[in-house]
Amino acid sequence: MVAAESASALAAAGVDGVAGGVGGVGEAGGVGRVGADGLAVGVNGVGADGEADAGGGRTAYRRGGLHHVEVWVGDLVAARASWGWLLGELGWVFGDDWGHGVAWELGPVYLVVESGPDVAAGGHDRRRPGVNHLAFHAGTRDQVDAIVEAAEGHGWELLFADRHPHAGGPDHYAAYLQDGQGFEVELVAT
């Protein structure tokens, strides 16, 4: 559902002060609203602690907290399919599509996958200087395992298979996946 549709659905449900688009409360195009206590009310039902919040999805924007991540890709169609599947499995919701980019939201944070005229040719290599990977809280060990089992059918491959699920150390249960364009994610069991 695009952000404007999310906003319309919230407005229809009686939630006031909703604006459409990707962004934070109080920003142009922000999704959500500010509650009487001054805290942002998220559209995804995720609390400030990252856990599901059946009590209205109240989220607090904290100074220094992550606002958004933007990943530039060479093949938007492939990235939309692989990232869209993975983020959906992790509880993110589709936020917006503007032709050369798409966004997903989780509470007050959003992730953009974009491919436009400013994206340089050459592809991504996680081993070069820059960002190596993004790590996500992925739920229980069983939930991590279920994502790994389905990942290959959605454009992801398991890295470090010989050490999985403890490639990060004996006390760290996680899966390391890489998409067809070389972007790595770490799915951490919590």
Per domain, the residue ranges of the chain are 68-114, 133-188
Same fold, 68-114 and 133-188: no
Question: Is residue 2 predicted with pLDDT exceeding 90?
Answer: no
> What is the 3-state secondary structure of 72-88?
ECCCHHHHHHHHHHHHH
More confident residue, 30 or 40: 40
Fold of 133-188: 2,3-Dihydroxybiphenyl 1,2-Dioxygenase; domain 1 (3.10.180)
Fold of 68-114: 3.30.720
> Model-level pTM?
0.70
- Across residues 135-161, what is the average pLDDT? 98
Q: How are the residues of the chain apportioned to helix, strand and coil, as percentages rounded to the nearest 5?
A: 20, 25, 55
Question: Is residue 52 predicted with pLDDT exceeding 60?
Answer: no
pLDDT category, 63, cuts 50, 70, 90?
confident
More confident residue, 81 or 10: 81
For position 59, what pLDDT does the model report?
Answer: 59
